[in-house]
Amino acid sequence: MARSSTTSDVFNAIAEAHRRDILDTLMAGEKPVGAIVTDLSMSQPQVSKHLRVLTEVGLVSCRADGRRRLYRLEPARLRPMHDWLAKYEQAWNNRLDRVEDYLKELQQQGEQQ
């Protein structure tokens, strides 16, 4: 049995770096496929396929404009991930008393009062 389908949930959809790149570039606003292609230097079919996956999980939506299709970010769909993460956020805050973690924080962030 292989990995569960990538089209079924947000976690899998976002596991791909290229798809995260597409979401990032769509933060600037609605864009046609061609703009994404040039922005990210990916092939047009590659972009279309990733957009399909992102559409299927609802992370982007699509609107026709003449012969182009304008894709738009649907950030609300990221909420499930945020909620899942929130549990751990608390966990990492609770452990700030541990010396290890404190040192890690200092190392990673340079400074933090």
User: Applying CB under 7 A, which residues contact DNA?
Assistant: 1-3, 5-7, 15-16, 18-19, 32-34, 37, 42-53, 62, 64, 66-69
Please, which of residues 2-31 interact with a copy of itself by CB under 8 A? 3-4, 9, 11-12, 14-17, 20, 23-24, 27
Residue closer to DNA by CB (options 49, 77) is: 49
Instruction: Count residues near a copy of itself (CB under 8 A).
Output: 32
Dist CA 52 CA 47 (whole Å): 9
Dist CA 96 CA 77 (whole Å): 31
Task: Provide, rounded to whole angstroms, the least separation between the CB of residue 72 and DNA.
Answer: 12
89: left (phi over 0), alpha (psi -120 to 50) or beta: alpha
> Using the rule CB under 8 A, is 106 a contact of a copy of itself?
no
What residues pair up with 68 in beta bridges, in sequence order? 65
Q: Contact, 102 vs 96, CB < 8 A? A: yes
